[in-house]
Chains A and B, each alone.
Chain A
Amino acid sequence: METTAGSKKALKFAYYPGCSLHATAVDYNESTLAVAEALGIDLVEVPDWSCCGSTPAHCTDELLAAALPAKNMIAAGTVADEMLVCCSACFSRLKFAQKHIEEKENIRTKLSKIMPVEQAQSIKVRHLLDVLVQDIGVEKIAELKQQDLGLKVACYYGCLLTRPPKVTELDDAEDPCFMDDLLTAAGMETVPWPYKTECCGASFSLTRTEIVLRLVADILQMAKEAEVDCISVACPLCHANLDMRQSDIKKKLGLKYDIPIFYFTQLLGMAFGLEQGKLGIGRSLVDCKELLAAKGIK
Chain B
Amino acid sequence: MKHVIKREQLRPDIIQTIEELSGQDIKSCYQCGKCSAGCPIAADMDVPPNQVIRQLQLGFVDEALRLKTIWLCASCETCTTRCPREVDLAAVMDALRNIAIQKGIRSPERAVTLFNKIFLSTVKRYGRVFEMELIGMFNTGTLNFFKDMTKAPKLFFKGRLKLFPNFTGRKMANTVFKDVKRIKSSGPEENSEPSKGI
Which residues of A line the B interface, CB within 8 A? 19-20, 22-27, 48-51, 53-64, 67-68, 71-72, 75, 92, 103-104, 106, 109-110, 113-115, 159-160, 163-165, 173-174, 198-199, 201-204, 206-209, 211, 215, 244, 282-285
Residues of A within 8 A of B40 (CB): 198-199, 201, 215
Do residues B120 and A60 form an inter-chain contact, with CB atoms below 8 A? yes
Question: Contacts A64-B177, A203-B74, A211-B44: A49 and B172 contacting too (C-beta < 8 A)?
Answer: yes
Do residues A23 and B75 form an inter-chain contact, with CB atoms below 8 A? no
Do residues A160 and B81 form an inter-chain contact, with CB atoms below 8 A? no
Decide yes or no whether B160 CB sits under 8 A from chain A: yes
Do residues B78 and A163 form an inter-chain contact, with CB atoms below 8 A? yes
The SS class assigned to the B binding surface is helix
Residues of A within 8 A of B109 (CB): 207-208
Residues of A within 8 A of B41 (CB): 199, 201, 204, 211, 215
Among candidates A48, A59, A63, A106, residue contacting B116 with C-beta atoms closer than 8 Å: A59
Decide yes or no whether B194 CB sits under 8 A from chain A: no
Decide yes or no whether B180 CB sits under 8 A from chain A: yes
Q: Closest residue of chain A to B20, judged by CB? A: A106
The docked-state distance in angstroms from the alpha carbon of A51 to that of B123 is 7
Q: Closest residue of chain B to A57, judged by CB? A: B120
The docked-state distance in angstroms from the alpha carbon of A67 to that of B179 is 9
Do residues A55 and B191 form an inter-chain contact, with CB atoms below 8 A? no
Contacts A49-B169, A71-B175, A202-B76 known; list 8 others, CB within 8 Å. Answer: A50-B123, A61-B180, A62-B98, A159-B74, A163-B77, A164-B81, A202-B74, A206-B148
Do residues A114 and B171 form an inter-chain contact, with CB atoms below 8 A? no
Decide yes or no whether B25 CB sits under 8 A from chain A: no
The docked-state distance in angstroms from the alpha carbon of A92 to that of B187 is 28
